[in-house]
Amino acid sequence: MAATSFNGERFNRKVMYHDREYQDYSLRHETYLAPVDLEEETRLRDQHEILKMVYRDWDNSLHPNFIEDPESILDCGFGSGNWAYDLAEYDPNCTVMGVDICPLMAPPDQLDNMDLQIANLNDRMDFAEPETFDLIHSRFVASGISATRWPNYLRDMYRLLRKGGWVQVTEWDLNFRSEVGDTDALQALQEWSRLYMQSLSLTTRPQGKKSARVTQDCETWLRMAGFASVTTDIRDVATCPWPSDTHQRNIGEANLSNMKDLIRSLALYPVTQRQLRSIEEFQALVDNACAELGNIQAEPYIRLYILFP
């Protein structure tokens, strides 16, 4: 699919499901099953600010310092556009193209050096010429990329990258951990992860199936795509303010509400619509899981992966 402008009526249509707004197109095609409403837009903005805290060791908190002065950048699945906007603002001399299947959370005001368009990342990325970009960024799109598409998604990036360019792939590993090894205190979270991952494969449409193993398999896929060496940067991010280090504690504090909202929004549709749980059972499980996210004694955390070839 070539990129299209934001005016396409079929991409702007919304549909309600248990008080949340979804993109009608994405649900119909089983492309992406998370809400795209104001609540999610706010969560994505807050999550973006948390990530800037996590990566404060990078000069601009957006990409590492070894990626020097990229001039042409692609953001895959821009969502509410926070990363693309911040980068375009940070460096007015670079151009930032963003693509997303859904225009509904896009920022109303864009900068002159931004170009946001609609495209489906599950299709061959024909919206740009080969060797166009110095940096391609892909963050938290695992729930929208078909399981079988990943190797070709990364091959497409390889084709669109200029020689010496960089790819930056960021995803959560949605298995929650306890720093003190108290897994009994994370039982509802573990049940949530199991159900969510099971729900990703419960479809008869091949393109609807999503991978629950992106953080584990991405390095191999990147090598298969042609990238010779791959660096994986893993950060453990607290889900409540338990770390003794003040900066990490502040991150944990901010991440608590983000993670509470994430586990509710990400799994609501696939788990209940695919009938793994009734809506009441799901809400009860998420309530318990939210309490576990905030259990200071268990020192819960989640892993954030960034891969750079």
Ligand X SMILES: C[S@@+](CC[C@H](N)C(=O)[O-])C[C@H]1O[C@@H](n2cnc3c(N)ncnc32)[C@H](O)[C@@H]1O
The footprint of ligand X (CB under 6 A) covers 31-32, 44, 48, 77-79, 82-83, 100-102, 105, 120-122, 139-141, 144-145
CB of 78 to ligand X, least distance (A): 6
Structure tokens at 129: 């010429």
Select 156 or 292, whichever has its Cβ closest to ligand X. 156
Q: Give the 3-state secondary structure of residue 236.
A: strand
Q: Which residue has the tokens 């953080």?
A: 215
Residue nearest to ligand X according to CB distances in the complex: 144
CB of 110 to ligand X, least distance (A): 15
Select 54 or 105, whichever has its Cβ closest to ligand X. 105
- Alpha-carbon Rg for the chain, nearest whole angstrom, is 19
- Report d(CA 142, CA 10) in Å as an integer: 23
CB of 181 to ligand X, least distance (A): 30
Select 32 or 242, whichever has its Cβ closest to ligand X. 32
CB of 183 to ligand X, least distance (A): 27
CB of 290 to ligand X, least distance (A): 19
177 strand-pairing partners: 301
Select 67 or 74, whichever has its Cβ closest to ligand X. 74
Q: State the DSSP code for 184.
A: G
**Could you tell me which of 43, 296, 4 has the C-alpha nearest to residue 179?**
296
The residues, any chain, with a CB within 8 Å of residue 36's CB and separated by 6 or more, are 14, 21, 22, 23, 26, 102, 104, 105
Select 178 or 193, whichever has its Cβ closest to ligand X. 193
75 strand-pairing partners: 98, 137
